[in-house]
Structure 1
Amino acid sequence: MTHRLTRDEARRIIVRAQLLDAERPGDVVEVAEQLGYIKIDPTATIAPCEHTVLWSRIGWSYEAGQLQKAVELDRLLFEFDGTFRPMSLLPLMLPAMRRWPTHERSRAWLDANARFRADVLAKLRAEGPLLASQIPDTAQVSRAPDGWSGSNQVPIMLDFLLRRGEVAVVGREGRHRRWDLAERVYPSDLPVHPDDEAERLLHERRLQAAGIAKQRSPWTPVGEAGEPAVIEGSPRKYRVDPEALAALDDDGGGRVAFLNPYDGMLFDRPRLSEIFEFDYVLEQFKPKPQRRYGYFAHPILMGDRFIGMLDAEVDRAREVLRVNAVHEFLPWEPEEHDMVRAEIAELGEWLGVPVVGLG
């Protein structure tokens, strides 16, 4: 059976799946379990992505130390590929991790550096956890700098071994990762899944986080998970999470949320355009004269619609949250102005600084 959904219904399903409805989650782990990952990014006009993603869901009770505790002490989350993920996903990821790398160039580099790999693992076994800077570069074959990594081959090898499940990030010192053997970081009693079962379960978890996704979306590949759906005005074939669909009428209402530009809710631009009628462009890498809303403006979600952009930044010299502009896509009602202003005030309280420039 193919479900036929209105745009309103589809939006409500997605907003609830992303924990952006009125019923806020209770803690960091609950957010990670539902979303599947929390993006890590240091750009901090307001706060780093991992923290604004959590604040936009949990609200004023979220503190940065809660994330660190979940990762480094409780081991309920782990770092992988620029994200924090719930440990419950690791068993589903391990079959693909053990097959990595799949590209010939990466396999050739790893094979050519077999002794280097052994050196890194031995150093971690003897002295870990360690920063990358504490591990000697003994590479036999080097990769040229690519703009993301320099000439030192240690970070590249550590990233390769992370993707293979041989090493793990045990914590951070500032923005620098501390590494150790995976066997000393990950639980030893993880369930084992056959490859096809692990892939199926991963698809189900991705659809749970998305609510609605295109079957072969490059942002949210969900395969045959869920049930087929079509959405008014869209020729695309979607999959919908049946549990989210069944709970569609249990609508507790919406709220205001400011979304970090790297929030996973925003990644699937075609879905944003089709279902939310929001053509989002990140202006971070545009020349200043070409920016319409600001260097790192945060989209404003009210209920199940995007209504504007918040251009704000923490002025660390003056210790204030400076509001440069609040852009309205369409003129707001007085109540909408009040709701957005209240959320900005709460953001300032969470950051521990006064708000200036709001008028």
Structure 2
Amino acid sequence: MTVELTREQARRIAVRAQALETSGPDDVLDTVRRLTFVKVDPVSAVAPSADVVFWSRLGERYDPAEVARGLEVDRTLFELDLMIRPMDDLALFRPAMRHWPPHERTRNWLAVNEPFRRDVMIRVSGQGPLPASEIPDTAVVPWSSSGWTNDRNVMILLECLMMRGDLAVAGRRNGERLWDLAERVYPDVPDLDEEVAYRMRNERRLASLGILRQRKAAGSPGEPIDTRGIGEPATVAGLRGAWRVDPAALERADEPIEERTALLSPLDRLVFDRPRLAELFDFEYVLEMYKPRDQRRWGYWAMPILHGDRLVGKVDATADRTNGVLRVDAIHEDEPFTGDLVEAVFGELDSLAGWLGLEIGGRAVGLPSAE
């Protein structure tokens, strides 16, 4: 039987799945378990994106040291493919590692560079954990591309060996990944059938997002989700096509979301899938950091504003650490803000500034409306 949802019900499901209710997660580990992963990204206009994702769920009690402790000491978390994941999920990735890489070009490059691989494994075995900068490049054939990966042989090989399960990220030093033998980082995990593990990964991802289009490999290229045959089939009023919804999320689909206001990273999973964002939330968003300044509508790293189950605007803010200020240059309203909503947005900005150890300032501060 196909579940018939209103767009409001679908939004509630999506917001709850991403742990953005007033009663949020308990701690960092609980957050990552519920989200399945938090993406690591070096851009830090306000703070690193992963930190903003955690802050938006945990508030000022979030301490980045808790992430480092989970990754490097307690081993309750692991980093794979620039994504922080719960160690509970490692067993779901191990089967795919046995058959990696999927592309012939990468397989051929690894085959011709077998001496290079041996050199790296011997060095890491004896001296690891090591950053890439301390590993010599002995590639027989360089990695060739038209982009930033061209001739970056050491990093390409390390990432290949990570995806194969030979090496693992043991921690970070000044933001740079430290590489070690996987057996010294990962615990022993159950040996799952690859098809079973893949299905479980898809089910976990659907649960973390609540509702998705029914299709093969939906989502970002680095983390595809095959939604066919998982969850419950659904339709969303006013939208064409088939959807899949997490069965557990249906129990509260009619229960209103408390009108908590949250500022989100542009890479937050609630807003990352732009077509889904437009369909369910009727929210237009483009990350404009790659655009020339005079072509930006909302700002370099404009943070979407979530209010209850609606996305209502964007905040153009930058952390000016030199002057100790969280600079708020604009608050863009997608719909007219009430006085209470203006107060709630500035309350979140005050909280963000306090967590960063900055004072709040900028052109938009003190204005009743930013438009």
Normalising to structure 1: TM-score of the pair?
Answer: 0.97
Equivalent in the alignment of 1:10 = 10
RMSD across aligned C-alpha pairs, in angstroms? 1.3
Size of the alignment, in residue pairs?
358
1:1-359 matches, within 5 Å, as: 1-144=1-144, 146-149=146-149, 151-188=151-188, 190-216=189-215, 217-219=218-220, 220-251=225-256, 253-357=258-362, 358-359=365-366
Task: Tell me which amino acid in the other structure corresponds to 1:353.
Answer: L
1:99-149 superposed Cα distances (whole Å, 9 cap, x missing partner) = 111111100000001111111111111111111111121111111354333
Q: Is the 8 A contact 1:203 1:223 kept in 2?
A: no
Contact kept? 1:22, 1:255, Cα under 8 Å = yes
Q: Which amino acid in the other structure matches residue 289 of structure 2?
A: Q
CA contact (8 A) 2:37 2:84 kept: yes
Q: What is the alpha-carbon distance in structure 2 between the residues aligned to residue 297 and residue 251 of structure 1?
A: 27
SS in 2 for 1:99: coil
What's the offset of the Cα at 1:250?
Answer: 5.0
Q: Rate the CA distance shift 1:290–1:342 in 2: closer, same or farther, 3 A.
A: same
Structure 2: give runs of 5+ residues left out of the alignment: 367-371
In the alignment, residue 166 of structure 1 is paired with which amino acid? D
Q: Which structure 1 segments of 5+ residues have no match?
A: none
Moved over 4 A (4+): 249-252
Paired residue type of 1:305: R
TM-superposed deviation, 1:252: 5.6
Q: Which amino acid aligns with 1:318?
A: N
Q: Find the aligned partners of 1:162 and 1:267 in 2 and give their Cα distance.
A: 25
Task: Give the SS at the match of 1:325.
Answer: strand
Following superposition, the deviation at residue 152 of structure 1 comes to: 4.0
- What amino acid sits opposite 1:278 in the alignment? F
Classify the secondary structure of the residue corresponding to 1:169: strand
For residues 81 and 236 of structure 1, what CA distance do their matches in structure 2 show?
32
| Amino acid in the other structure paired with 2:27 | D
Greater CA drift, 268-277 or 215-224: 215-224
Per-residue CA deviation, residues 20-55 of structure 1 (Å, 9 max, x unaligned), is: 111111101111111111011111111001100000
Aligned-residue offset at 1:248: 2.6
**8 Å Cα contact 1:39-1:264 kept in structure 2:** no
Residue 143 of structure 2 contacts residue 149 of structure 2 at CA under 8 Å; is this kept in 1?
no
Structure 1 counterpart SS, 2:322? coil
Instruction: Note if contact 1:43-1:49 (Cα within 8 Å) is conserved in structure 2.
Output: yes
Against the structure 1 CA distance between its residues 16 and 263, is the aligned structure 2 distance closer, same or farther, given a 3 Å change threshold? same
Q: Which amino acid aligns with 2:201?
A: L
User: Structure 1 pair 38/173, CA: closer, same or farther in 2 (3 Å)?
Assistant: same
Residue identity in the other structure for 1:184: R
Deviation at residue 222 of structure 1 after TM alignment: 2.6
Q: How far apart, CA to CA, are the structure 1 residues paired with 2:42 and 2:166?
A: 26
Displacement of 1:354 after TM fit? Answer: 0.9
Residue in structure 1 matched with residue 369 of structure 2 by the alignment: none
Is this contact kept in 1: 2:257–2:308, CA < 8 A? no
The whole-number CA distance in structure 2 between the counterparts of 1:249 and 1:265 is: 20
- Are the equivalent residues in 1 in contact too, given 2:214–2:228 (CA < 8 A)? yes
Tell me which moved more, 136-145 or 344-353: 136-145
Which piece of structure 1 moves more, 248-257 or 121-130? 248-257
User: Does structure 2 conserve the Cα–Cα contact (< 8 Å) formed by 1:297 and 1:309?
Assistant: yes
Taking the aligned partners of 1:58 and 1:221, their CA distance within structure 2 comes to 30
One-letter identity of the residue aligned with 1:117: R
Secondary structure, aligned partner of 1:60: helix
